[in-house]
Amino acid sequence: MTKLFSRTFAASPEDSRTDNDISEKICLLQTFLKPEHLDIPALLRNEASWLLAQKELRKINGFKSPREKLLCIMNCCRVINNLLLNATISENHVPAGADDFLPVLIYVTIKANPPQLHSNLKFIQLYRWQAKLVSEAAYYFTNLVSAMAFIVDLNATSLSMDEEKFEECMEAAKLMSQQTEAKCSSSGKMCDKTEETKGQLGRMNARLEQFNSPTTRHWSQYTELRERVTSSSTMSSVTTAGERSGPSTRSPTRNKICHVISAGNSEGGNVMRPCSARNRCTQLRKGESVEATAAEGKVRKS
């Protein structure tokens, strides 16, 4: 049946409408229904056990085979049955029967609100092997079918509650449900706008990354070149200081092209001519030696 599940489960539109109607009514009842409205004795009220039974019943829609769905119902009903047995034993109460079991099951079903309850029960009834739907399984399954029928036809006379109060609670629950739906729709629209804005920002970021990738590469190249120039300048300054103290190996940066202003143009103007740093230093040393020789001649004459 797992391979045919999509074709056999809730196959008709009528089943889907019935599921929606039951789920909506249960949502309204959840807002105001209490255990005393179903005449559940205080002795049998155990929230921990009820929560565990609700958890087991909600699993029914997560399986695709009739056997596994029926096991979820049986596990839920077993939790409730154990609760009744323990309560009667501890308080020396009369053993609980169907009159105590069914109201608790109805309350647990309303609080659990299992999805597609009608379709799940119909699926089990149609496709579970009838030879296996006997004894304990048949008893628990019949009780859940009765609980669903009770919820569908539930009104003020079904509860220990005034008719006027029941109608007021139902109207208040409907109004609250409408307000919640309006908020959800508005928040859904805002979520759609938010997702659209996120998409636009993502596209803009992608474009910026494409635009910035060459700039980043060029910036890294510029930074590397600047570091090289800085290191070369530092080596040049260290080499110059070493030449002043004594002979040493000259750095290649001493051969960089520089411009000096010199006179002697045929037309009498100043001309820019290139020379290397080595030639410049040689010229300076020659000028210093000429000045020193002239000074020695003057001293001899005197």
Three-state secondary-structure class, residue 131: coil
**What is residue 135's predicted lDDT score, i.e. its pLDDT?**
87
138 vs 134: CA distance, rounded Å: 5
The residue extents of the domains of the chain are: 5-182, 252-301
Which residues does residue 259 pair with via DSSP β-bridges, in sequence order?
Answer: 274
**What is residue 274's predicted lDDT score, i.e. its pLDDT?**
45
102 vs 87: CA distance, rounded Å: 16
Which of 1.20.58.220, 3.30.950.10, 1.20.1070.10, 1.20.1050.80 is the CATH number of 5-182?
Answer: 1.20.1050.80
Q: Which tokens is 101 given?
A: 């079991």
Residues 6+ apart with CB under 8 A from 195: none
The burial class, CB within 10 Å (0-12 / 13-18 / 19+), for 44 is buried
**What is residue 208's predicted lDDT score, i.e. its pLDDT?**
60
Per-residue exposure over 92-101, b if at least 16 CB sit within 10 Å of its own CB, e if not = eeeebeeebb
**What is residue 52's predicted lDDT score, i.e. its pLDDT?**
94
- Which pLDDT tens digits describe the chain residue by residue (302 residues)? 678 888 888 888 899 999 999 999 999 999 999 999 998 888 888 889 999 999 999 999 999 999 999 999 999 999 999 998 888 787 766 666 778 899 999 999 999 999 999 999 999 999 888 888 888 899 999 999 999 999 999 988 888 888 889 889 989 988 887 877 766 655 555 556 666 766 666 666 666 665 555 555 566 666 777 777 777 666 555 555 454 444 444 444 444 434 433 444 444 444 444 444 445 445 544 454 545 555 555 545 54
* DSSP E strand stretches across 84-207: none
**What is residue 268's predicted lDDT score, i.e. its pLDDT?**
45
**What is residue 237's predicted lDDT score, i.e. its pLDDT?**
56
96 vs 81: CA distance, rounded Å: 9
273 vs 278: CA distance, rounded Å: 15
Three-state secondary-structure class, residue 145: helix
- Which strand (E) or helix (H) includes residue 259? strand 258-262
Closest CA to 75 of 146, 129, 136: 136
112 vs 284: CA distance, rounded Å: 102
What pTM value is reported for the model?
0.59
Q: Is the dihedral of CA 272, 273, 277, 280 positive or negative?
A: negative
